[in-house]
Structure 1
Amino acid sequence: MSNPLDLPLDPHMPRLAQRPRSATALALGAAALTLCAATASSTLVQWARVRNALRAGPGKQAEAHDAPEPASTPSMRLLLVGDSAALGVGADGPRHSLAGLIAADFPDAEVRNLARSGAMLTDVHAQLQAAGTGFDVAVIVAGGNDILRRRRMAQIARDADAVMADLAPRARTVVWLGVANMGLAPLFVPPWSWWVSARVRRARPLFAAAALRHGVCYLDFFREARDDVFSRDPLRYFAADGIHPSSSTYRHCYEVLRGKLD
């Protein structure tokens, strides 16, 4: 054994025994392992619930899709693109989706809905290629899936700008129904609900900025928990899956949109 202090060593001096780990250290280690296991289990359960809820969306497309056929000479041509919320998933039926509510107020209008469940911003481009041009109003509901699928914010910003550039020339008026505070949906539990809300909070100004650059009206539905109307009454404002809008939510959003259609 080296003697860095250059002091004489007593050969009869016993060596120091290794100190046993204290009960506190063992308890902390066990607690840390338990916490890691619980976090991993919670993560798997949370995202399994999210995956199942989102996969259930396409099966409901038959319940809420295009509005009825308009008159031969429509008074207005309106285009809907985006994700399951634009499609109407979670509504009690076609009449309660955005397309149905618009058709009820404008029976002579042509309402074309090309939205698809699970669509991200990049998927809207394909919907627009099938849409054509010459619309009076275009409404987009998108961005939520980009947030949930952990797309990087820089990519979300680029995709939002590209979609706005593609959509804006296709209608005289373009309205983007913004993403609400999805972290407050009943499907999410802490700490994952905090993560989702933080993601929406970061994406929100990116969406609004892209809309502004292309002359698109951005309707902001994001609210913090203290001001969020939807989470105050989740049984009323959320579908049974805990994440999609209910008929009451579609009605609420449509009332905000209604002034822009006029």
Structure 2
Amino acid sequence: MIYKIIFVLLAPLVALQGMYVRRVAIKLSEPTGERSGKDGQGTALRLLIVGDSAAAGVGVTTQKHALLGNLVSQLSNHYELTWQLIAKSGKHSGQCHDRLHRQHNGEVDVVVVSLGVNDVLSNINTKQWLVRQRRLITLLKDQFGAKKIILTKIPPMERFSLLPQPLRWLLGQRCKEFNLALAKEIAKDPMLIHLDLSAITTNELASDGFHPNQTLYRYWAQAVASQININFKPD
């Protein structure tokens, strides 16, 4: 792809920009709040959210306003939820797989996955990205008994205001490449859903210009809840 040639040509500048971003980036903490519990009434549903800092809720101060809290709020009127969050800032798909393998806590109905940004930032190619995703998906199916896996697309990093140009554009192109490869990989598997949040804007980012804000977490949860309502119709 053309962006790879541009990346090579601009490698020294991109490296400097990467160091600059690490130096000036606002370090936001993971929000407080419970990461497992039961809530609601209706059809029994076991929910697991796994992944990186976005899954963990970085960008808001409490889990109530993160993906988990919004999703529980939107589903609890129709489902008897058993929910758990297993997520950590800075983790890529391979690290998430390894943690889940060690931390198996029973079977689930639906898994929501938020991974990819840290894979994009790591030194891997598209084939290695797909290997990581295959291993994770296999684990979620075989070890957790997941009936439906909602894989959130890597967000459009070309809209992350923290990142200077041309680093922002180059990472955005890499996100698109990874997303397209995974879409082709999972297209024929009815257990997998590739959830698109590409419509986000800079107004939906937290103060660090990198993570979701409360508005985006609510929108994300609405998109996930819609898929769950379609695939696990409440009584």
TM-score range, shorter chain: 0.7 to 0.9
The count of aligned residue pairs is 212
The two structures have a TM-score, normalised by structure 2, of 0.79
The two structures have a TM-score, normalised by structure 1, of 0.72
Which residue is equivalent to 1:203? 178
Which residue is equivalent to 1:81? 50
Contact 1:121 1:143 in 2 (8 A): yes
Q: Identity over aligned residues, as a percent?
A: 23
Which residue is equivalent to 1:97? 66
Q: What is the distance in 1 between the residues matched to 2:186 and 2:34?
A: 25
Which residue is equivalent to 2:148? 173
SS of the residue 1:167 aligns to: helix
Query: Of 101, 110, 116, which aligns to 1:143?
Result: 116
2:193 corresponds to 1:217:
yes
Which residue is equivalent to 1:241? 208
Structure (1 or 2) with the greater helix fraction: 1
Query: Residues 2-21 of structure 1: matches in 2 within 5 Å?
Result: none
The aligned amino acid for 2:129 is: I
SS of the residue 1:261 aligns to: helix
CA displacement at 1:182 relative to structure 2: 0.9
Cα deviation 1:1-25 (Å, max 9, x = unaligned): xxxxxxxxxxxxxxxxxxxxxxxxx
Q: What is the distance in 2 between the residues matched to 1:39 and 1:157?
A: 25
Q: What is the distance in 2 between the residues matched to 1:39 and 1:188?
A: 15
Query: Of 64, 70, 80, which aligns to 2:38?
Result: 70
Contact 2:111 2:148 in 1 (8 A): yes
Structure 1 stretch 98-107 or stretch 45-54: which is displaced more? 45-54
Consecutive unaligned residues of structure 2, counting only runs of 5 or more, are: 1-9, 230-235
Which residue is equivalent to 1:258? 225
CA displacement at 1:63 relative to structure 2: 2.9
Cα deviation 1:97-140 (Å, max 9, x = unaligned): 11111222334411100111111010121232213442111111
Q: What is the distance in 1 between the residues matched to 2:62 and 2:126?
A: 34
CA displacement at 1:51 relative to structure 2: 6.4
Contact 1:187 1:242 in 2 (8 A): yes
Q: What is the distance in 1 between the residues matched to 2:220 and 2:32?
A: 19
RMSD of aligned residue pairs (Cα, Å): 2.7
Cα deviation 1:124-173 (Å, max 9, x = unaligned): 21232213442111111101110012322221121112211222342111
CA displacement at 1:48 relative to structure 2: 3.4
